[in-house]
Structure 1
Amino acid sequence: METLKKINLINGLDIAIVGGGPGGLALARLLQLKGARVKVYERDLNQKARVQGAIVDLHYHSGLKVLEAAGLMDAFKARYMRGADSFRLVDENANVLVDDYFQSGRYTFGDEHFRPEIDRGALRDILIDSLLPGTMVWDSQLIHLSLRDGRWEMQFKNATHASSDLVIGCDGHRSGVREYLTDIQSVYSGASIIQGEIDAPRTACSELYSMINNGSLMAAGQGKMLMVQPRGDGGLTFYAASMYPENWEKVSGIDFRIPREVCDYLDNFYDGWHPAFHTMFSACKHFTYRPLHYHPLTLRWQTKPNITVLGDAAHLMPPNGEGVNLAMLDALDLSDCLTNGAYQNIEDALMAYEKSMFARALPICGETVEGIKDFASPSKESIRKLIQIFGNDENI
């Protein structure tokens, strides 16, 4: 039987990656290693335009695997936050329920249980710095796509235009690319978080700063949750989670641009909690309200020959520690499908990638959505489950 000739699908193609998050940047790096012509179109004005958020942990079978394939493990090892993979669970009175600080450091690179943390901005910088000069096209927010003679014409908010043979949307929850594949909209999970940023926690909320000890802190009380994480620049990010009506931001009467209004609400909502948490609220000068959405678990689309999406643009789900890792693994799978010579055309390669991507994301999304109330509005029983998960059920 005659063996089919392997075809270099990316040879001569102009590939546009829309969105410069970890998934899109990892994809650009992996494709460039295979000789692809790639541009990354990012809405930010420049590399330092905004804080990228708190830390993110990378996993052995996904994020770390991708960095290894991209030849970036040494750069990662030089910048990851040692000890930040530690974790502490407390109740509303700051009584410790689970303390993983004593065990932090028992794993290291090469162990599948090791989940090293890195500042999101540092991870982004590592990926950007690995790209060929001129790859990043800043201040490029996509507003329209049109297909002409088999090529995508892209229009951006800054009135510039570009064209490409293949468009890959890595542009998150509100993806401007996904709408060219499906009109299915995301669904509100019932939970929301109020996110706060504190630039100088060592002095502004010293007791809380000592409590987190450069790791992650989760405080669980009846019907509400707090999660606190360090940032690579010495600041911290906290997430105040609970169940809210979908239109709560509009009907709450709170102007989230005025920190005092948000702080007053949180002080009241967390009434009776340890004073260190209230000091943390008062120290915050920037709040953001984030309703948590997810894509319907049945979301699928008919594969198209020259456009696809990855990461949150493809399988949005509430925060679960897997988002960045899944996006980076999507990038590895997609780059492999496009370059491994197993497919006769781009459409077949994209179909294979999408099948694998959906199969991987479905159970994780389903589990996350099912457990959203336990996360955002925990009961005594769900707190007990949390303790059991982390291997210590002696405290409740």
Structure 2
Amino acid sequence: MILNHQKIAIVGGGPGGLTLARLLQMSGADVRVYERDYGKNARVQGATLDLHEDSGLEALRRAGLLEAFYDSYRPDAGRMRILDKHGDIHVDDHAAEKAFAEDRPEIDRAPLRKILLDSLQEDTVVWDSQFVSMERQDAGWLMYLKNGTQAYADVVIAGDGANSKIRPYLTALAPVYSGVTIVEGNIYNASTNAPRLWELVRGGKIFAFGDEQSLILSAKGEGSLSFYTGCKVSENWVQESGIDFTQKDGVFAWFKEAFGSWNDFWQELFTSNEIGLIPRPQYHFPLDQRWESLPNLTMLGDAAHRMPPYAGEGVNMAMQDAFELAECLTSGAFTDIHAAIADYEDRMLKRASQITQMSLEMTAMLHSADPIAQMVAMMSGE
């Protein structure tokens, strides 16, 4: 195997990075994951994840974790309701015998992370290790971490997300603004703090549309409710708005104005102080992005191909990256690591271009003048 005696560093302990670590360890590789969270019990934000047969589920299958996944997934979490801004229900997946996304089983982020962490050898993840910078040393890299420590690796793999600090070591290609910014919220103890919306979501998802805006709600098994507002605003809106997104009242004031024509019951999203909020301008990388492959550095997931979330492909792309990269590095098909990385990147970038295009089309459709009709047509196979 071309990884004999090579020290592999994966920066970022998301699903992609942890999946890669598991697959590499199954082949005997020496791998460490450097994660900025303080420990494995850190609170995991974000909506539930739907895994697709040929990507996310295939990664778990190769990792020997499919049974563990089905022990922890939420069978009805993918059932959706499509509403307009007034609260009228146009599609009710709960009333159907077969859910629209039944072939895309859903799992909360925290249980998926636990499954992957539990599959790794002890001390694989180095916690409280946020990447700051690195420099070439011998044939590899010396990494500098925020906690003041250093770590050497022969090969570094960036899994550090959409705002990757490692990506600039490979390419200067900048992301492109999609035209939509999300305000993400997480409401804890939602049955108490947002009872009407909690009842309406029924353990699944809500997609609501109006005025070329979107509002997506997702229930989680531990009782929280995540939501994403989607609005067409300028690229610098977060800074120019003057909103302090650490303070709920300012965000609530913006919501009441921006979604002023929506039914007042949506404002229940902001009635509790048990809430976390963060703005997320949505970017993507150029569809034709390319860079010169290096023999000791590559990327996976959002670091390589960030895109808006509206096609549900982010985690699936990252996990497919993981099993394709692991296969290149461990299959014996290549004479050296450089050739393996180059082949992986070529296939990954072609795939990412197609999926990014699809995600951008979905983003535009969901924020168009009449997305509900288009959603209904799509779900009916038209």
TM range (shorter): over 0.9
Deviation of 1:294 after TM superposition, in Å, equals 0.8
CA deviations on 1:61-87 (whole Å, 9 max, x unpaired) are 110111011011111111111211111
Paired with 2:295 and 2:102, the residues of 1 have a C-alpha distance of 38
Q: Is the 8 A contact 1:43 1:138 kept in 2?
A: yes
1:197 matches 2:190: no
* Mapping 1:33-44, distance limit 5 Å: 33-44=26-37
1:51 matches 2:40: no
1:238 matches 2:231: no
1:290 matches 2:283: no
Paired with 1:253 and 1:361, the residues of 2 have a C-alpha distance of 35
Deviation of 1:249 after TM superposition, in Å, equals 1.4
Equivalent in 100, 107, 122 of residue 118 of structure 1: 107
Equivalent in 202, 213, 218 of residue 207 of structure 2: 218
How many residue pairs get aligned? The number is 380
Residue 340 of structure 2 corresponds to: 349
* Mapping 1:354-365, distance limit 5 Å: 354-365=345-356
Paired with 2:210 and 2:301, the residues of 1 have a C-alpha distance of 32
- Report the identity percentage: 42
Residue 290 of structure 2 corresponds to: 300
Paired with 1:370 and 1:58, the residues of 2 have a C-alpha distance of 20
TM-score (normalised: structure 2): 0.96
CA deviations on 1:291-322 (whole Å, 9 max, x unpaired) are 11111112110011111001111111111200
Residue 263 of structure 1 corresponds to: 252
Deviation of 1:52 after TM superposition, in Å, equals 3.1
Measured on the aligned residues, the alpha-carbon RMSD in Å equals 1.7
Q: Is the 8 A contact 1:54 1:232 kept in 2?
A: no
Residue 85 of structure 1 corresponds to: 78
- Aligned AA (1:62): S
- Aligned AA (1:287): L
Residue 334 of structure 1 corresponds to: 325
Deviation of 1:113 after TM superposition, in Å, equals 5.7
Deviation of 1:253 after TM superposition, in Å, equals 2.2
Paired with 1:244 and 1:286, the residues of 2 have a C-alpha distance of 22
Q: CA, structure 1 residues 104+13, in 2 after alignment: closer, same or farther (shift >3 Å)?
A: farther
- Aligned AA (1:9): I
Give unpaired runs (5+ residues) of structure 1.
Answer: 1-7
Q: Is the 8 A contact 2:82 2:92 kept in 1?
A: yes
Give unpaired runs (5+ residues) of structure 2.
Answer: none
Residue 312 of structure 1 corresponds to: 302
Provide runs of 4+ in structure 1 moved above 6 Å. none
Residue 172 of structure 2 corresponds to: 183
Deviation of 1:177 after TM superposition, in Å, equals 1.6
Deviation of 1:392 after TM superposition, in Å, equals 8.5
Paired with 1:343 and 1:51, the residues of 2 have a C-alpha distance of 37
Residue 279 of structure 1 corresponds to: 268
Residue 3 of structure 1 corresponds to: none
Residue 195 of structure 2 corresponds to: 206
Give the stretch that moved more between structures: 140-149 or 45-54. 45-54
CA deviations on 1:208-237 (whole Å, 9 max, x unpaired) are 111110011000112211000012311100
Q: Is the 8 A contact 1:27 1:331 kept in 2?
A: yes
Deviation of 1:104 after TM superposition, in Å, equals 6.0
Deviation of 1:274 after TM superposition, in Å, equals 2.4
1:102 matches 2:92: no
Give the stretch that moved more between structures: 266-275 or 250-259. 266-275
- Aligned AA (1:129): D
Q: Is the 8 A contact 1:86 1:104 kept in 2?
A: no
Paired with 2:110 and 2:241, the residues of 1 have a C-alpha distance of 32
1:169 matches 2:158: yes
TM-score (normalised: structure 1): 0.92
Residue 135 of structure 1 corresponds to: 124
